[in-house]
Structure 1
């Protein structure tokens, strides 16, 4: 198995990482291979499916061109400071250049213990691997910046969590794995030389027009504000927005206890470890401001005059809510078919979402149904929708034709619903991968109606509802 890996991150100083080969497994078997992504990465699909390819995806074979390593970082976890974290169950093999000329990391997640494992086993079990594969690929198809899933393999080994489960490894692809926590790690150690090297690396890799650390801060803030607006427009809840899970390039990373809402509940929490709702759906725009304030603090040592830098960085952080609000409003205007801006649009949207919350309306299906005549069916009191629809129709009078087409382009028919993911995981535990494959295939075309998959649009029954989601560790 030959891959032309490059190593811009490994070329950074040695204290940025620990060189660490993946731990071999007993009996690797390929579960899923993302053929479209392999093609984008200019990788040989047949070779990846071969015995040598599967051995590489499982960590049993390390290509000659690879330089496997585990990255170190720190972070605030639920607001509490952790001075050293890092890749506790993942190993970066190297980087490849995709067909668009973009540098992409290839990482094995669940590949064994590292020095950063924090008493963990370094492994992953099948459930979280399937969840991340399904959700990250769905996010990519929905147009949200994200890590990707190239492959999933079973290991032939057992992983002990609350019970014994079959082990698995995810091959994760990302434009990098650099987090706010990476900067925090070096800032907390007063290592200005490392901060400068990391800043130069991130600018070269992600923001080539940035003119220095302050401009980098500004561009990261913009990217993150737009990302969170996209999450909100899809009813997505990350579940664990710690600074070590906040990517400096503005992509979604680390799908642990993540979930998409069914019924619209503004303060909804799924994560079993988020006991106080810190990362609830409606808190996400505020948390990203908090996270990026920590990023700004980390950059201060290399920003020149401290007092002037604090003043300017504070101004940059204070721009995030307005940037987010503008991005949110643009996305939600599109979700109700508006192409122009009027002063009453925010109130129109607020009225709809208040009615949705009060009437237990399904988030995804309600917006999608606006393109037809069944939106009122999503409300326990259809009259609540009728009142709003009158105002909406009046607002649409100033809009161009083509409403239905605009609405279907802005509102997905399919999201990775929690109960369908859970059903796919349970089937996979019996050896049946068909439900997971069907879900993956359907979610690659989320804006198409796909009548044969209409059952995947249905919200869960009370018996099917998933009320908590969990990390894989």
Structure 2
């Protein structure tokens, strides 16, 4: 048995590389670029175990070397994926500029997931960049992606962050790091846009067939399998975006290259969670026009899906006119699907089990009052869930008192008990979210002082956001008032 095979057996790697069997124009095979002095910062032990990996072995020298890109795991085949994308509405050739797909881990349940190193060095798609990543943004992705998973929202996940012992230059000199990202796949709308723009019809069909086999095998034998593919992606994105809206998550950079075909949230660059309820909220420093504001996310999702549908037109029907009609009909369903998921989710947040025609106006009225009084989004629903109205700024507002009476009357018109309603609310309204000031506090301690305890405590309370535990209460407090709006940056 070779030394690499022994290490793989100890760690638990079980790689396959199906993506590498696609047309070669879709990727570039590369050697890893070693770093000077890798050090494990954090390892996601529960995720490692679910992948069939030995966490103890991953913390050893060989494991850290593999997580840093200093050593190729047995069975891995490092490659950078090519893709394109509309970035803030402008179409560009892109690709993995600072990431390498090691391969696909087959977990103990037989499921296939991508293992990707992010910040692993230059590739042919780096577009002049250094291919590296800073420690702060990698830890941010770790925190937010794991918080999203705990909230029950489909997401890529973070297995580990390793510091590189090297500095990188952004606005300032910063410590370098590599994140190990786990994803159902890294297939994106932008992947199809790349093939549509620069590939052949055979490449397009091969990519579509691969996507069906990997994510939607249940519709792979449908009469029009490519229309079914479009419809299934639309379904998953409608559910995903609704869940974002329900917890006040703002992605910040909804370019087409950041929309997965699996329905997972990907890329946690300028993302953040909304404090004060305002549909126009934007955090990203580069989103000066508010294209990706909270209220716009459903519209942008539909726009992105239309771009995906355009790439599939040659597969939908031989007659382009009929293909366009099929695509337009499918896209039009997104709005109805999103609205269905959002309305059902809002009913649950208010403890409503059945449906009445006036429910939507009841919900919209609450949101309007929240916006008028600059109420915190998460904590308003938290106060309603705990029946601690004095905990919200709405408590003394006359219109809120009137709304509260209407809401209580609405709850009284359903068979379920009030206790059942409050239990539904507890399971639908997180007690905590990764508050922006708490995330920044954790990142500052980690990056500036190499103190990871603040981050570890934050991750612990975020791991069960619906617990309503006493330990979580301090993490639900709002930041101090500031005259400067909170801004995020595309550091990841």
TM-score grouping bracket, smaller chain normalisation: over 0.9
Distance 1:375 1:223 in 2: 35
- Decide whether the 8 Å contact of 1:419 with 1:465 is kept in 2: no
In 2 relative to 1, CA 279–332 (structure 1 residues): closer, same or farther, beyond 3 Å? same
1:182 aligns with 2:191: yes
CA-to-aligned-CA distance 1:69-93 (integer Å, 9 cap, x gap): 00000010000111x2001110010
Supply the distance in 2 between the matched residues of 1:4 and 1:150 (Cα, whole angstroms): 16
Three-state SS of the structure 2 residue aligned to 1:81 is strand
Structure 2 residue 77 is the aligned partner of structure 1 residue 62: no
- For 1:65 and 1:445, locate their aligned partners in 2 and report how far apart those are by CA, in whole Å: 35
SS of the residue corresponding to residue 392 of structure 1 reads helix
| 1:376–1:385 CA contact under 8 A, matched in 2 | no
> How do 1:359-438 residues align onto structure 2 when only pairs under 5 Å count?
359-379=373-393, 381-399=396-414, 400-401=416-417, 402-429=420-447, 430-438=449-457
Matches within 5 A, 1:196-211: 196-210=205-219, 211=222
- Between 364-373 and 278-287, the greater mean CA deviation after superposition: 364-373
Question: Secondary structure at the residue paired with 2:165?
Answer: strand
Aligned to 1:286: 299
Report the 3-state secondary structure (helix = DSSP H, G, I; strand = E; otherwise coil) of the residue aligned with 1:111: coil
List aligned pairs for 1:287-306, cutoff 5 A: 287-304=300-317, 305-306=319-320
Instruction: Please give the per-residue CA displacement for 1:16-66, whole angstroms capped at 9, x wherever unaligned.
Output: 100123311111111110000001100111110000000000001112311
CA deviation profile, 1:190-247 (whole Å, cap 9, x unmatched): 5211110010110001011223111100111111011000000000000000000010
CA contact (8 A) 2:314 2:323 kept: no
CA distance in 1, matches of 2:66, 2:182: 14
Alpha-carbon RMSD across the aligned residues, in angstroms, is: 1.3
1:73 to 79, 83, 90: 83
Instruction: Give the Cα separation in 2 of the matches to 1:66 and 1:372.
Output: 50
Partner residue of 2:488? 469
Gaps of 5+ in 2: 1-6
Distance in 2 separating the partners of 1:178 and 1:12: 12
Any conservation in 2 of the 1:418–1:466 contact (CA below 8 Å)?
Answer: no
Partner Cα distance (1:319, 1:167) in 2: 44
CA contact (8 A) 1:177 1:247 kept: yes
Over 3 Å counting, the alpha-carbon distance change for 1:358 and 1:100 in structure 2 is: farther
Residue in 1 that maps onto 2:358: 344
Residue 256 of structure 2 is aligned to residue 243 of structure 1: yes
TM-score normalised to structure 2 length: 0.94
**Distance change (3 Å), C-alpha of 1:466 and 1:57:** farther
- The separation in 2 between residues aligned to 1:65 and 1:375, in whole angstroms, is 57
- Aligned CA distance change for structure 1 residues 49 and 61 (closer, same or farther; 3 Å): same
Structure 1 residue aligned with 2:476, among 457, 460, 468? 457
Alignment of 1:92-103 (within 5 A): 92-103=101-112
Conserved 8 A contact 1:239-1:258: yes
**Any conservation in 1 of the 2:102–2:116 contact (CA below 8 Å)?**
yes
Q: 1: distance between equivalents of 2:199 and 2:159? A: 37
Q: Which residue pairs with 1:86 in the alignment?
A: 95
1:165 aligns with 2:174: yes
- Aligned counterparts of 1:453 and 1:314: Cα–Cα separation in 2: 46
Partner of 2:21: 11
Which runs of 5 or more residues in structure 1 are unaligned?
A: none
Helix, strand or coil at the partner of 1:370? helix
Q: In the aligned structure 2, how far is the partner of 1:403 from the partner of 1:68? A: 50
Number of aligned residues = 472
**Alpha-carbon distance between aligned partners in 2 of 1:103 and 1:466, rounded to the nearest angstrom:** 41
CA contact (8 A) 1:367 1:375 kept: no
Q: Structure 1 segments of 4 or more deviating over 3 A?
A: 463-466
Question: Which residue in 2 is equivalent to 1:47?
Answer: 57
Shift of 1:466: 6.0
Cross-structure match for 1:252: 265
Report how far residue 374 of structure 1 moved: 2.2
